[in-house]
Amino acid sequence: HDWVTIYTPNPASTDEILTFHTEDYINLLKKANRGVPQEDWLRYGLGTTECPVYEGVYNYHALAAGSTLLGASLIEEAKADIVFSPTGGFHHAGKDFAAGFCYINDIVLAIRKWIGRRRRVLYVDIDAHHGDQVQAAFYNISRVMCVSFHESPKTLFPFKTGFETEIGRGRGKGYTVNVPLPENTSDDEFLWAFKKIFLPVAKAFKPDVVLAVLGADVLFSDPISHLQLTNTSVSKALETILQISPKLLALGCGGYVLENIARTWTLAWAIMNGLQPNEEEAALFGGMFWGDSLSSLNDRPHFVPDAVKKAVKRDLQRVVRGIEKNLFPVLKIKT
């Protein structure tokens, strides 16, 4: 389509990466680019099962960060209103360590770029895992609103952060919102909580720009998480985000089933372009080559027993009430 432009990014420069990460850590990551691990690197999270050292590790993640930063620049320079970089979203990388398959935190780099231009940034993370290191980077400031919908840290990495009681500190109090989703959360419960929390918070914050993480690991068929969502949750949430987004940079983030990633992110890109997928053609092609489960970009309805849904709803109602009680007054949101 003539309204879509595809850009080829350059790797993020060392100076750009050092706006968040420490020099010692990045120097080690550059050495790791040769693919030969050293035992003492483990204290930096390098060489673990989740963050192995392999040839080209620095090159790849610097390029992914460069792609996200290019998206941030295109929006800042008014060359685009919506940018999608599927390879971004490394929200577990810390200042001086790698974690959870993440080596360079492209999200923090992009947000820092924007707040350096005095922008109000809304970061909304829909991924099975809590974006712990993005939260940590902006926990004490009010120019960035961090909103995360993720599986409860009681049952999934990173385990220690992402509880609803974490709402920011100091000037940042009220500018961190966590909605931990219980195991077996399905579309109905997720979309109820998203509407109850995201819309009031976004409207109160009035962002200049939105950075959205759209993880495909929230889906019921993902082997890592324990949620029961379909990509309807992702698409409906994205439609809501677009309603309040003056500018949007969307990133892909997690997902451990290739078919889920391909279908969910293709569907998301269609929604960002105001397009409805041609389900008849998809059904014909998908039914012939992949079977019924992949005959559409949209997931089929996924059955979850009523007893399970009711238990999840009770737990989520408790979470939402806590947020409304403890955080909404700080933002002057009426319930």
On whether the CB atoms of residues 264 and 216 are closer than 8 A, the answer is yes
Q: What is the sign, positive or negative, of the torsion defined by CA atoms of 211, 186, 199, 143?
A: negative
- Domain with residue 124: its CATH number is 3.40.800.20
pLDDT at 282: 52
Rounded distance between C-alpha atoms, residue 252 and residue 2, angstroms: 23
Confirm whether 258 is domain-assigned: yes
Residue 319 lies in a domain: yes
Beta strands in 95-233 (DSSP E): 121-126, 144-151, 176-181, 209-214
The angle at the Cα of 255, spanning 61 to 314, to the nearest 5 degrees, equals 130
Residue appearing with tokens 């999934």: 156
CA distance linking residue 25 with residue 65, whole number of Å: 16
Alpha-carbon span 312 to 175, nearest angstrom = 26
Q: What is the pLDDT of residue 293?
A: 54
Give me the phi and psi of 15, to 5 degrees please. -60, -40
Could you tell me the pTM of the whole model? 0.94
Long-range contacts of 36-40 (CB under 8 A, 24+ apart): none
On whether the CB atoms of residues 205 and 331 are closer than 8 A, the answer is yes
Q: Tell which residue, 308, 306, 326, has the closest CA to residue 318.
A: 326
Q: Rounded distance, CA 278 to CA 266, Å?
A: 12
pLDDT value at position 18? Answer: 99
Any idea how long the chain is?
335
> pLDDT value at position 3?
86
By CB atoms closer than 10 A (0-12, 13-18, 19+), residue 88 is buried
Compute the distance between CA of residue 55 and CA of residue 76 in angstroms, rounded to an integer.
34
Q: Which residue has the tokens 């990173």?
A: 158
Average pLDDT by consecutive 10-residue portion of the chain (335 residues)?
A: 91 99 98 95 97 98 99 98 98 99 99 98 99 99 98 97 98 98 98 98 98 98 97 97 95 94 96 80 50 73 96 98 97 92
For residue 249, list its beta bridge partners: 83, 211
The answer to the question of residue 110 being in a domain is: no
> Residue 246: its pLDDT value, please?
87
Query: What is the total count of domains within the chain?
Result: 1
Residue 298's domain comprises 120-326
| Distance in angstroms (rounded) separating the CA atoms of residues 108 and 148 | 15
pLDDT of residue 290: 46
Residue 1 inside a domain? The answer is: no
Does residue 214 lie in a domain region? yes
Residues that are catalytic = 92
